[in-house]
Amino acid sequence: MEIVKKVVIAGHFGVGKTSLVSRFVHQKFSDQYLTTIGVKIDKKVIELEGATVKMMLWDIAGESSAMKIPKKYLAGAHGLFYVFDLSREETYRNLDTDLFELNKSLNGNPAIVLGNKSDLVEETFIEKLHSSIATDFKITSAKSGENVEEAFLQLAKEML
């Protein structure tokens, strides 16, 4: 049985959304920053709990606020990743507001917050951030691959 799921990846520009998708889909990483224009669509087929899940990954161009994301990109999303850069405070300063805005388009579908670029910050900083941010988030590094596969599999499970 094949199940198709649309997954939206949102967040500020330069936080590593495209790199996370590239790591998950192609097992590749590049240090070069190339901005995304509009939306970049990739797909990855995974086997999960006896089902074939085709994940359509909508990697949306980074915006400084979720309010600026065109609603038509979010329409019909079965799940969402909100990505921020652990090393840039401005990318998670308005995390709650952004998530509130995005959740309006999700119709109760799951969303996972990812604190990316864990390779750039100290462990102690991450611990402090966990206690200062109310929203739960998962640590990832597209560069080292830390937690990337796990995050996508977790969202896939939550969408089933």
Partner 1 sequence: MNLNEIKFRPLEKKTQVIVFDQKGKVLETDNTLVEVNPEGVNIFEDTILCGMEEQFLSLKKGEQVELDCIHTDFFGKESHYDFVVMRLEEENPSYGLVIYDFGAQYNQLFDLQQERNMAQIQSHRLERENKELVDEKTTIERLYNEMKDDSSSSQYILVKADSLLYNLDFKEILYLEAYGDYIKVHTENKVYVTHNTMKRVEEILPANRFFRVHRSFIVQLSKIENIEQMSLLIRGKDKVIPIGKSYKSILLQKMDQL
Count CB-CB contacts under 10 A for residue 152: 25
**127 near partner 1, rule: CB under 8 A:** no
Binds partner 1 (CB under 8 A): choice among 39, 46, 48, 121: 39
Stretch that binds partner 1, among 88-96, 97-105, 110-118, 144-152 (CB under 8 A): 88-96
**68 near partner 1, rule: CB under 8 A:** no
**124 near partner 1, rule: CB under 8 A:** no
**75 near partner 1, rule: CB under 8 A:** yes
DSSP secondary structure letters along 28-90:
---S------SEEEEEEEEEETTEEEEEEEEEEPP-SSGGGS-HHHHTT-SEEEEEEETT-GG
Binds partner 1 (CB under 8 A): choice among 26, 51, 68, 76: 76
**34 near partner 1, rule: CB under 8 A:** yes
Q: 154 with 160: CB under 8 angstroms?
A: no
Count CB-CB contacts under 10 A for residue 61: 18
Q: 81 with 31: CB under 8 angstroms?
A: no
Chain residues that interact with partner 1, rule: CB under 8 A? 4-6, 13-14, 33-43, 54, 56, 61-62, 64, 72-73, 75-76, 78, 88-90
